[in-house]
Amino acid sequence: MEQLSDRLLIESYYRAVKLDLNDDFINLIERELVIRGLDEKIKEMS
């Protein structure tokens, strides 16, 4: 996950949710968003 840019991580999150991918995978992305402090950005964009 560390190799993904913030933008790519955010795009991956939205695409995973849209495609209704595995909940564990989405949770993994969400945890990384929190670690990077991007969770608030996601809330603002929703």
Is residue 1, in this structure, part of any structural domain at all?
no
The pLDDT of residue 42 is above 80: yes
Domain count, the chain: 1
d(CA 7, CA 23): 21
Is residue 23, in this structure, part of any structural domain at all?
yes
d(CA 42, CA 40): 5
This prediction's pTM:
0.86
pLDDT tens, position by position, 6-41? 999 999 999 999 999 999 999 999 999 999 999 998
Is residue 34, in this structure, part of any structural domain at all?
yes
Write the CA distances from 2 to 14, 21, 44, integer angstroms: 18, 21, 23
Is residue 37, in this structure, part of any structural domain at all?
yes
Report the pLDDT value the prediction gives residue 46, as an integer from 0 to 100: 72
What residue spans of the chain are helical by DSSP H? 6-18, 23-35, 39-45
- Can you give the CATH number for the domain in which 26 is found? 1.10.287
Q: Supply the range of the domain harboring residue 37.
A: 6-45
Q: CA Rg, the chain, in Å?
A: 10
The pLDDT of residue 44 is above 90: no
Q: Which residue would you say has higher pLDDT here, 42 or 18?
A: 18
